[in-house]
Structure 1
Amino acid sequence: MASYLVPPNDHSTYQHAKLAPSVAPRMAAMNGNGVHAKENPTVLPLSVLKQFQFAFLIRNPRKAVPSYYRCCIPPLNDMTGFKYFMPNEAGYRELRALFDYLLEEGVIEHPLKGNMGSATNDANGNAHANGARETNGAKQTNGSAGTKYRACVIDADDLLDHPKEIVQRFCEMVGLDFDESMLEWNANKGCESFDKWKGFHEDAIGSSGLRPRTVKKTQGPAEEREGWVQKYGEEGARVIEKTAQENMEDYEYLKQFKVTI
């Protein structure tokens, strides 16, 4: 969801993000006219970003882009409401920009730096969507004024291949107690939470847990493209391949920080 925090590259505020109206008035004393310093790429002030603990879920764009493309064309777009595919909504650039900014400002720590390993009991917050947890430290912040957390980046392929081990590592890094029940749930339970995003999470909603996948697809680029042509036509395949390639560098950059087991 980083694309909701960082303006798209075709927007007038790209590289000059302005504070969201909901926070601009009360942050006026700290942010002058409500315009961020150039180095902050988001629509939220650093003081707000420091109130959360972040986790990043990434996926190879050659898998993520065609999945998103499918949600923007018939028949699935009748459910999603997304009537056309926009390549700049892939979100990798925004995710990298947010990651780098949090790293530079000390909100998250480099995963290989020192012993800033897992979260501690200083972070006693409530769970928030997209892997962020609001912390209740002495100054309501992470970063330099509170508990620092090692950058938590999860690759979707690792989660699908080793769900238990990856979820255990995630819990360790964000200060949660791992429980086997985290890997199982009742099919359709809690699906109302996804009502806003109908069509995007149907596989997850209809599932009952995370289990290691037994079959891995090992198609090469040519085979992948042929599959896209069969499903989406030549033009669809061209758009998918171009979009995936444009986002591959940012994906590979973030992947170097991924959690390992």
Structure 2
Amino acid sequence: MTVTNESNGTPAGRRLLFISVPRTASNLLLRIVNIPKQPNLHTTPKGGYFFYPAFIESTQNGSLVDKPADQWTAEDINAVKTSSQACLDSLEEYSSRAAQNNQLMFTKEHAYWMFSPATRRKFITGLHDDKFFEAFRVNTPEKYGPKKYSRSNETMFSDEYLRSWQMVFIIRHPALAWPSMYRAMLKLGESGVIDEDGVKGASVANMTFHWTRLLHDWCLEQLDVPVSAPVVDAHDLIHHPEIVLQLCEQTGLDKSVVQFEWADKSEKKSLHWACHNSNADPDEVKLHQQAAGVMLSTLESSAGIIKDKAPETIDIAAEAAKWRGEFGEDVGTLIERCVRDSMSDYEYLKARRITV
């Protein structure tokens, strides 16, 4: 049962977790919902991304999952777990502040970041090893209850901790999202944010809805949790943005501040990237701001929704020929394979989306 603070109508202790994948128009969704102007809502200046440092830790100097598991050293595992724990602790500090002020806690995280290297290794090899899942689990606060992990929960967090959040999922047709992601990764490579191996590694890790579906299906199993786990399709968001009003009704967000147009010189979210960490190295912050500038370039140069970003029909074979011409045979083929492999998860999630 949801408890409401009578003084301002804000659900006490409510927490919203938006689960996204790069290039699925998640930042457009946040712009339409107008997160900065949402009353009684608490988040970071960039709207979340608490677990970005842990993602970087697990992928720097070569992704941990690229190593055979028998080569994972105690130092490897401890570095990732320590970073993940620090990210969780930071999130919990923000969340405690929100609860103290009777505010709704909000964060957006990429689905891939919620899972440990053990899960990623299972995705690649098909091997499930309980000791590795245990090794990467973070310590969630006692107030969330016993630390139990159902078989379907392959994240770093206990069932009870995940149950403390209402999750919202955003998806987009893979033939639009994945080539867009690779273009963005190339730009990050050109700017020095990631190296050549990182371009392909980050792309492959994210060019799937596998992680999104795992979390979504775990939510469906929580039959006694009295809140939904809405799914938003970027195509609907662009062509029927009024679905956001339904999303607000299902999540407790305020419909009165929703916007479908905005000033083209509005404050750039990318300038706030990593600024919630006062101890961050200035050069590192600048690098992260460059990355955010690449990922948010279309949105930050727009004054509203751009409908040609979501065509009505998509011919994957025809698009694949274009990808080979743009990226070369090997990468074009890789993107096509990822697109086709993602379609079953995408269609499954799409069938469960909010509709007009």
> TM-score under structure 2 normalisation?
0.53
Cα distance per residue 1:15-60 (max 9 Å; x no partner) = 743375652585998338xxx3433211111121122111100011
1:1-261 alignment runs, 5 A limit: 1-6=110-115, 7-8=119-120, 9-10=123-124, 16=130, 17-18=133-134, 22-23=138-139, 30-31=146-147, 36-73=149-186, 75-79=187-191, 80-81=193-194, 83=196, 84-86=199-201, 87-106=204-223, 143=225, 148-163=226-241, 165-179=242-256, 181-186=258-263, 187-189=265-267, 190-194=269-273, 195=289, 197-210=292-305, 212-213=307-308, 216=311, 218-261=313-356
Cα distance per residue 1:212-260 (max 9 Å; x no partner) = 5598364522321222122112222101100111111111111110100
Q: CA deviation at 1:155?
A: 0.3
Whole-Å separation in 1 of the counterparts to 2:307 and 2:205? 32
Q: What runs of 5+ residues in structure 2 fail to find an aligned partner?
A: 1-109, 274-288
Give the SS at the match of 2:146. Answer: helix
Which has the larger helix fraction?
2
Partner of 1:128: none
Whole-Å separation in 2 of the counterparts to 1:67 and 1:215? 12
Whole-Å separation in 1 of the counterparts to 2:145 and 2:251? 32
Q: 1:227 to 1:105 in 2, by over 3 A?
A: same
Aligned length: 217
RMSD: 3.1
Whole-Å separation in 2 of the counterparts to 1:71 and 1:48? 33
Counterpart of 2:259 in structure 1: which amino acid?
Answer: M
Give the SS at the match of 1:224. Answer: helix
Equivalent residues of 1:154, 1:258 under 8 A apart: yes
Which deviates further from its counterpart, 80-89 or 37-46?
80-89
Partner of 2:16: none
Give the SS at the match of 1:41. Answer: coil
Cα distance per residue 1:94-145 (max 9 Å; x no partner) = 11011111110237xxxxxxxxxxxxxxxxxxxxxxxxxxxxxxxxxxx2xx
Percent of aligned positions that are identical:
26
Give the SS at the match of 1:71. Answer: helix
Counterpart of 1:85 in structure 2: which amino acid?
Answer: K
Whole-Å separation in 1 of the counterparts to 2:128 and 2:189? 28
Q: What runs of 5+ residues in structure 1 fail to find an aligned partner?
A: 108-142
Q: CA deviation at 1:153?
A: 0.4
Whole-Å separation in 2 of the counterparts to 1:76 and 1:13? 32
Q: 1:191 to 1:172 in 2, by over 3 A?
A: same
Counterpart of 1:89 in structure 2: which amino acid?
Answer: N
Q: CA deviation at 1:69?
A: 1.3
